[in-house]
A and B are shown apart, each in its own frame.
Chain A
Amino acid sequence: MKVLCGIGGSDDSFRALDRTVERAAVADDDLTVAVVENPDSSVEPDEIARRAESAIEEAALDAEVRLVEGDPGSRLVEIAETEGFEEIVLGGGHTSPMGKITIGSIAEFVLLNAKTSVTLVR
């Protein structure tokens, strides 16, 4: 399957990255990791890309890591549509100390606007 994993540097996005790389290695997915500009993240895009590349290398996977500029949600949806991706994978949300899960604004946009299936990784 052709999978687009969007990560912006939040904890849950790195969890999504690890799980997607793991699965891609088993399922032989055609994986692309899109590093997006998440305004809520303090990790620099270059650093995020480095982490993605090392995860891919560790899994002995052949996957592309791409830096994506502009509005994260709409760019992910656009890339998925124009390049024939079948699934978008994103982080499953922030958990407060109380234990409540809040879905981020990128995931909200993608969920409501994507034509592909969307997976939120918990």
Chain B
Amino acid sequence: MSDRGYPEAVADEFPAPPTEFTDREGRTVEVRPYEGTEAGYEALVEMYDAFDPADRAQGIPPGGEERIREWLDAILGDDCLNVIAWCGDEVAGHATLVPDEDAYELAIFVHQEYQRAGIGTHLIRGLLGHGQAEGIRKVWLTVERWNRAAVSLYKKIGFETSDAESFELEMGLRLNPDGGGEEAGEIENGGEPGAGDSGTDGG
């Protein structure tokens, strides 16, 4: 799985969180790295517990609180980067980078109540800004072909298709040039959990 393709060119600079904006419904949304607090963790569990199964992607988020917690424990680890979109005390969306060999896999999820309001774009840009600042070089993701909103969001961000021969499209992005930055798994400051392709609002 280490033969994934990435664009030659390094992506533009993304804004590092925290960032704040007003979504298309007039709600104030703040994008912040996951802080590792209990309240933050529980708010995430709540978001995923209420997540519409129709927006699951390739098995995630899992169903049921117990499996959600197991999954979150794996992707909120110190070697992962996680960013959350907050609307007050409520989690509107979550995006994550999880190390896998020499790169990071990206996923982003926006709760159904907050979709189609521009939150996904801010959230993924915040995650990539966080990753860029942490020195991550390469990011990949898979997305179901029919999920056009997600595919167009990823393309707009700068992801390029690296494998179009399977059920899912595989896409890659270069965040930092080779030679600089850290290798996957060497992030020192920990990260925040992430979001998947389902539930992205496409803009």
Contacts and interface: CB of A to CB of B under 8 A. Distances in A.
Interface of A: 95-103, 105, 108
Nearest to B71: A99
Which of A97, A98, A102, A105 gathers most chain B CB within 10 Å?
A98
Q: How would you classify the secondary structure of chain A's contact residues: helix, strand, loop or mixed?
A: loop
Q: Size class of B's contact patch?
A: 20 to 34
A95 B59 CA distance: 9
A96 B168 CA distance: 14
A100 B60 contact: yes
A98 B167 contact: no
17 contacts: A96-B98, A96-B100, A97-B74, A98-B96, A98-B98, A98-B107, A98-B194, A99-B60, A99-B71, A100-B57, A100-B107, A100-B142, A102-B166, A102-B168, A103-B167, A105-B166, A108-B167
B167 A97 contact: no
A100 B166 contact: no
A95 B74 CA distance: 13
A101 B62 CA distance: 11
B166 A98 contact: no
Contact of A100 (B59, B99, B165): B59
A102 to B, nearest CB: 6
Nearest to B58: A100
A41 to B, nearest CB: 12
B166 A97 contact: no
A40 to B, nearest CB: 8
A54 to B, nearest CB: 28
B91 interface: no
Interface in B64-118: 71, 74-75, 96, 98-100, 105, 107
A108 B98 CA distance: 26
Contacts of B75: 98-99
Interface string B156-190: 00000000011110000000000000000000000
B11 to A, nearest CB: 20
B99 A97 contact: yes
B166 A96 contact: no
A122 B96 CA distance: 25
Contacts of A108: 166-167
Which of B60, B75, B99, B165 gathers most chain A CB within 10 Å?
B60
Contacts of A103: 166-167
Nearest to B74: A99
Which of B58, B60, B100 gathers most chain A CB within 10 Å?
B58
Nearest to B67: A99
A3 B96 CA distance: 41
B98 A97 contact: yes
A102 B140 CA distance: 14
